[in-house]
Amino acid sequence: MCGESPTRREEGGPPGGYAAVAPRFFGRATVSHSYTGSGTTAQQNTAAREQANLNFERSMSMKRSYLHFHIALLFLLLSSAPALAQSFKATVVGQVTDSKGAAIAGATITIVEESTGRAQSATTAEDGNFTLLQLTPGRYDLRVEAPNFRPVMQTGIVLETGQIRRIHLALEPGEIKETVTITAEAPVINTDISSKGEVITPTQVQNLPLNGRDFTDLALLVPGIYRRPSEDDQGESLAAAGTRTDAANFILDGVVNRSDRNASVGVNTSVDSIQEFKVETSSYSAQYGRTAGAQINVVSKSGSNSFHGSIFEYLRNNVFDANNFFTAPGEDKKLIRNQFGGSLGGRIIRDRTFFFASYEGTRERRSQSEFNTAPNSEWLRGDFRNVRGPGRDGIFGNADDTNRIVDPFTKREFPTPNVIPQAMFHPVSQKILPFIPAANIPGTLDGYAASGLSRVQRNQFMTKLDHRFSANNNFYARWARQSSEGFDPFPSARNFYPGFGRDTERRFDSLAFSDTHIFSPSFINEVRFGFYDQNNKNLGQNRHEDFNAKLGIPGVSPGPALQGWPAIRIDGFSEFGDRPNDPFIYDISNHQFFDMLSLVRGNHSIKIGVDIIRSNYVEADVRNVRGDFRFRGRNTNTSNSASSGFRSFADFLFGLPDSTQRQVGAEPADLTGWQHALFIQDDWRVRSWLTLNLGLRYELQTPLNEANGRIANFIPELGRVVQSGYPNFPKSLVETDKNNWGPHVGFAIRPFKDDRTVIRGGAGIYHSMESFNPIRQQLAVTYPFVIREQYNRDSNNPGLLTFSNPFPQGRGGLQGLDTPFGLQVNYSTPEFYQYNLTIEREIVRDLAFEIGYVGSLGRYLGRRYNPNQPMPIGLNPDGTVRTVRAYPQFGDIQFQEQTANSNYNALQISLRRRAKAGLTMLASYTFSHSIDTASSTNNSTTGAQRFPQNVFDFAAERGLSDFHRKHQFTASFNYELPFGRGRAFLSDASGAVQALLGGWQMNGIVTLLSGRTFTPQFNAPDISQQRPDLVGDPYSNIPPGLFFNPAAFARPRPTPSDPNFFGNAGRNILIGPSFKNVDLSLFKNFRLTEGVRLQFRAEAFNAFNHPNFQVPVFLLDRSNVGQVTSTANEGREFQFVLKLLF
């Protein structure tokens, strides 16, 4: 079977064929060689396991704090170099003229921040133009003075994150002592920026209903933003405009705040500590980088000359809530959540030194409900008569009966057909049975409703100090921390049985320093230092007991830090036991240094510099250190075919696994990489009505290196695994991509030379740093540093592989060696081409309408595949498919290559109203089409298909993206009702009338989404999950209770003339349920004293109690295929709030 070699397929195959050609250091030619490495003896494996346990316990407890000192010192030494990173600050541009429109040169412009008294000045040029740089978002007053003209003071100028605010001022002749005062109105459109994005204002941040007070939920209000479906241990993240969901970049006060393991937000700071944030989605400035997706730029609050703050308590209790749709009969939903805390900001020295501090605590207990499968009570007793059916003759008990199970050793019927005598149960199975729940949904054989109780204890801190050393020098320091402890009863999307939960301990820290020096109004420098640190511990709840010893399973002896349940996988049911990769522990730290240099030269506002980040990542891979046992139903089947469901469970009762695994080696990988960026950005005001945004960014990301040289890579061209230090290869075994040039060009045109209409467009090339996890898995936690032994059943000797003898000596393969990992040597950084064209118009005062096209092309995107995929060449006498492999000395190979691509096109529409007459509104609609050949490096963000179905036909992987939603609509509003003192009605109300009718406010968020894509699959022999043949319309003749018709799909039937076992159904051809949700809140404000008010809030999440469902079960060989088993949101939940604001 493995001795034959197919000829190389010239087209449609994976990179690297199978013909013997000259080896190359990189590229796509392939040489097949036999691997001659020696095996590992059982004694060596035992010693390795013991040493690995010891190393694991030692390594994960050590901190490398000494390294932080050296890196900080290095950054200080480098501080003389010009550098630039993500800026959250605003710019004011404008022109000063006389009353007849003639430019006034030499006028003095002074802008003063209202809350702190910080001032900055500039002088108009010959054409009357001026530019004010590096202004912190906030509220300002601007004064203009010129000889022989009356001074003008414009008050209440609101500057937002990253904004370029245009101001035109006309001076009248007169005495200097006579000042004209104008109250500014916030512009509803941005007239000088070509990028696509949206600022989430302080009103929206503080007042919109947020389920869990997670600010990232508000980013979904921006057109083109979508959230990644949650994947095991990945969490959720955001992305935009067709980029992948590991391409989002989170920035807090100008420094990186992103977990580089999974590309999610780092410190998720309290909403009460956020001033505002901006989300940019397409064609943004060259100063932004690291990733090609959404740039989420958060600005924290600062102190001011006036003391301000809040004290709050958010309360939720299940007595006010509706049950989850899948809550088990007779069970009530449980939810108790308290979120409490406060904030305080003010002055230490007036106009000079300011402070801000916040704290938020969360205490939550919540029930969770899931719907899945479990064996019924008869199966637990070994009685499988309820699945047996008559054969062709219609008579029960004859040899052609369907769904027969037989004695695995004799292949004969049991004395009572389909009933296994309990005396034949394996002793280990008997000990496990009390821990397996029985099916509990009436009318089903294996329907199971699971429920559990999760708990969370979270604390969020932030402190910030702002100080003005002089009129030309400002400094701030900010520290934020988020820490939590919790328990998750269902920590895996594949395990919904009670008793196998996970305790979590997590800590995130972010530290930022910044010093801004104004050398002149046209020359400003800002130096920043950022530090991010993250520690995650995920610990199985059974970690204090060695269940292998308790159950009597030999051959696995995990150390004290690795104890718990082994993994029991019975095809057709949820997995049983602790998560195989627990304890799941990792540390991430980033050191960031940059120096921001901003110049004004005529009509050019120029930014140049570099951004340097050093990243360190430490993680161990402990999968299967307690053993893995998979049951596939072959032993009790009448044939040798796999059979999920009842036969798999029958195999379990006999203690006869189809395969077993154990891991040797669990020492953490200690990986370090550097990211460097150089760029120049020129915002050129060519004419008063035309601005060009021109930029060039160069990025260099070094491959990750392991501290002890523990890196290995499978090289297809050599047909072998090589380790760091191998001749003619770099230390990291991966080449550095040095061709990451990113030119950007954009324009903003005001066709009518006013501030009410703008046409903007842009295009650029953006590069995206891949998250750490794929590279760690491909290079560091692989053979020979992690060895997984796999043992398979012998069809001729079913008693060889049992619970009693799970790792028979001399019969296993070293899976780490047999199934290596690899990463393309000539690695290419993922690259996206972004482009957009939009028109925005203020259709009536304070109401803007925007419509535009947004597109992107992704190239050099990562995908994993198996270059040693078994290929069919014929049929065996028993009807099974005969296959061959290109590398017969190996089993499956997990190889990553940067060859996937994507294509996104969208119509985006938004309607925006800034705060006016008590109403703020943002509505957006996206009509999009997102296709790709892989939606993540894992090829799936839904935890399902990990590899392309057929590596000789990558074109068949082209389909809708996993995150594709054709229609997305969101709307939010904040509305102060027009009743009471100072409002349109009852404006002079007082006393009881004001207390009853005044101070009311309504807020809400409406979300409407079309369904998410998914792919039908089935468990195929030898090649795991594969796609079926499409033989009908899956949306016709849908059986009651199902979401699609499984009869529209069939298992491929290989024939001697066509032994192909790949289905013709496309990837992501099915669309799941749509999503509809409304969150509402009602506020009542009570004025206590001047500047002090008490606010009562009632908030309703999923206010209309509309159940939204996850995608249905898509595995066609599951008994519950087509059924929806879980919800995407909870039933209606109420939250009540008391908040004191001053």
Tens digit of pLDDT for each residue in 517-532?
999 989 999 999 999 9
Query: How high is the pLDDT of residue 495?
Result: 74
Q: 1057 pLDDT exceeds 80?
A: no
Query: How high is the pLDDT of residue 177?
Result: 72
**Measured CA angle at 652 (ends 646, 654), to 5 deg:** 110
Report d(CA 125, CA 138) in Å as an integer: 26
Q: 19 pLDDT exceeds 80?
A: no
- What percent of the chain stands above pLDDT 70? 88
**Residue 1056 has what DSSP assignment?**
S
Neighbours of 391 (CB within 10 A): 14
Average confidence (pLDDT) over 695-709: 92
Q: 67 pLDDT exceeds 50?
A: no
Token duo for residue 1089: 């004293």
- Out of 120-124, 308-312, 390-394, 687-691, least confident range: 390-394
Query: How high is the pLDDT of residue 93?
Result: 93
Can you say whether the dihedral through the CA atoms of 949, 952, 956, 958 is positive or negative? positive
**894-916 and 821-823: which strand pairing?**
parallel
Average confidence (pLDDT) over 510-515: 96
Token duo for residue 353: 């030194």
Query: How high is the pLDDT of residue 875?
Result: 81
Q: 175 pLDDT exceeds 80?
A: no
Report d(CA 485, CA 316) in Å as an integer: 19
Burial class (CB in 10 A: 0-12, 13-18, 19+), 353: middle
Report whether 1099 contacts 1080 (CB < 8 A): yes
Report d(CA 225, CA 896) in Å as an integer: 27
Q: Where are the alpha helices (DSSP H) in 440-594?
A: 547-551
Calculate the CA 1046 to chain-centre distance: 31
Residue type present at position 115 = S
Q: 363 pLDDT exceeds 50?
A: yes
Return the residue matching tokens 């040693």: 868
Give, in order, the Cα–Cα distances in Å from 338 to each of 149, 365, 369, 1035, 1085.
59, 9, 21, 44, 21
| Phi and psi angles of residue 567, each rounded to the nearest 5 degrees, phi first | -90, 125
Beta strands in 386-471 (DSSP E): 447-470
Q: 1025 pLDDT exceeds 70?
A: no
At a CB cut-off of 8 Å and minimum separation 6, what does 673 contact? 614, 615, 701, 702, 703, 704, 705
Query: How high is the pLDDT of residue 1072?
Result: 94
Give, in order, the Cα–Cα distances in Å from 367 to each of 236, 364, 548, 776.
20, 10, 30, 35
**What is the rounded average pLDDT for all residues in the chain?**
86
Average confidence (pLDDT) over 812-833: 81
At a CB cut-off of 8 Å and minimum separation 6, what does 472 contact? 517, 518, 519
Q: 728 pLDDT exceeds 80?
A: yes
More confident call, 400 vs 1019: 1019
Report d(CA 52, CA 48) in Å as an integer: 6
Query: How high is the pLDDT of residue 46?
Result: 43
Burial 175-213 (b: 16+ CB within 10 A, else e): eeeeebeeebebbbbbbbbbbbbbbbbbebbbbbbbbbb
More confident call, 363 vs 443: 363
Burial 977-988 (b: 16+ CB within 10 A, else e): bebbeebeebee
Token duo for residue 1108: 């939204």
Query: How high is the pLDDT of residue 1060?
Result: 76
Report whether 1045 contacts 1122 (CB < 8 A): yes
Query: How high is the pLDDT of residue 17?
Result: 35
**Residue 779 has what DSSP assignment?**
I
SS3 114: coil
Report d(CA 169, CA 101) in Å as an integer: 10
Give, in order, the Cα–Cα distances in Å from 303 to each of 309, 348, 466, 988.
10, 9, 7, 34
More confident call, 444 vs 304: 304
Query: How high is the pLDDT of residue 815?
Result: 55
Q: 233 pLDDT exceeds 70?
A: no
Token duo for residue 786: 């992690």
Report whether 127 contacts 518 (CB < 8 A): no
Q: 857 pLDDT exceeds 60?
A: yes
Q: 512 pLDDT exceeds 90?
A: yes
Q: What is the 3-class SS of 327-384, one letter each residue? A: CCCCCCCCEEEEEEEEEEEEEEECCCEEEEEEEEEEEEEEEEEEEEECCCHHHHCCEC
SS3 67: helix
Average confidence (pLDDT) over 416-438: 96
Query: How high is the pLDDT of residue 1075?
Result: 95
The secondary structure element, H or E, covering residue 772 is helix 772-775
Report d(CA 907, CA 223) in Å as an integer: 9
Report d(CA 340, CA 362) in Å as an integer: 7
Beta strands in 521-647 (DSSP E): 523-540, 567-570, 584-601, 604-619, 628-631
pLDDT band at 33 (very low <50, low <70, confident <90, very high): very low
- Out of 321-330, 553-562, 736-745, least confident range: 321-330
Q: What is the CA radius of gyration of the chain?
A: 32
pLDDT band at 72 (very low <50, low <70, confident <90, very high): very low
pLDDT band at 752 (very low <50, low <70, confident <90, very high): very high
Average confidence (pLDDT) over 102-125: 94
Report d(CA 358, CA 765) in Å as an integer: 39
Report d(CA 584, CA 621) in Å as an integer: 8
Q: 399 pLDDT exceeds 50?
A: yes
Return the residue matching tokens 């081409």: 833
Report whether 438 contacts 446 (CB < 8 A): no
Average confidence (pLDDT) over 80-89: 49
Report d(CA 358, CA 1033) in Å as an integer: 56
Return the residue matching tokens 């066709």: 751
Report d(CA 811, CA 793) in Å as an integer: 9
In 3D space, the residue among 1012, 1022, 1067 whose CA is nearest the CA of residue 1043 turns out to be 1012
**249-252 and 295-300: which strand pairing?**
parallel
Report d(CA 11, CA 711) in Å as an integer: 32
Q: 375 pLDDT exceeds 80?
A: yes
**Measured CA angle at 322 (ends 320, 323), to 5 deg:** 130
Burial 836-872 (b: 16+ CB within 10 A, else e): bbbebbbeeebbbbbebebbbbbebbbbbbbbbbbbb
DSSP 957-979: G-EE-TT--SEEEEEEEEEE-SB
Report d(CA 161, CA 300) in Å as an integer: 11
pLDDT band at 1022 (very low <50, low <70, confident <90, very high): low
pLDDT band at 941 (very low <50, low <70, confident <90, very high): very low
Report d(CA 1019, CA 945) in Å as an integer: 11
In 3D space, the residue among 113, 117, 171, 180 whose CA is nearest the CA of residue 141 turns out to be 113
Q: 776 pLDDT exceeds 60?
A: yes
| Phi and psi angles of residue 547, each rounded to the nearest 5 degrees, phi first | -75, -20
Q: 12 pLDDT exceeds 60?
A: no
Token duo for residue 775: 């590279």
Token duo for residue 490: 């269902």
More confident call, 74 vs 1067: 1067
Query: How high is the pLDDT of residue 24?
Result: 29
Neighbours of 478 (CB within 10 A): 24
Query: How high is the pLDDT of residue 331?
Result: 72
Report d(CA 532, CA 266) in Å as an integer: 8
**Does domain 90-183 match CATH 2.60.40.1120?**
yes
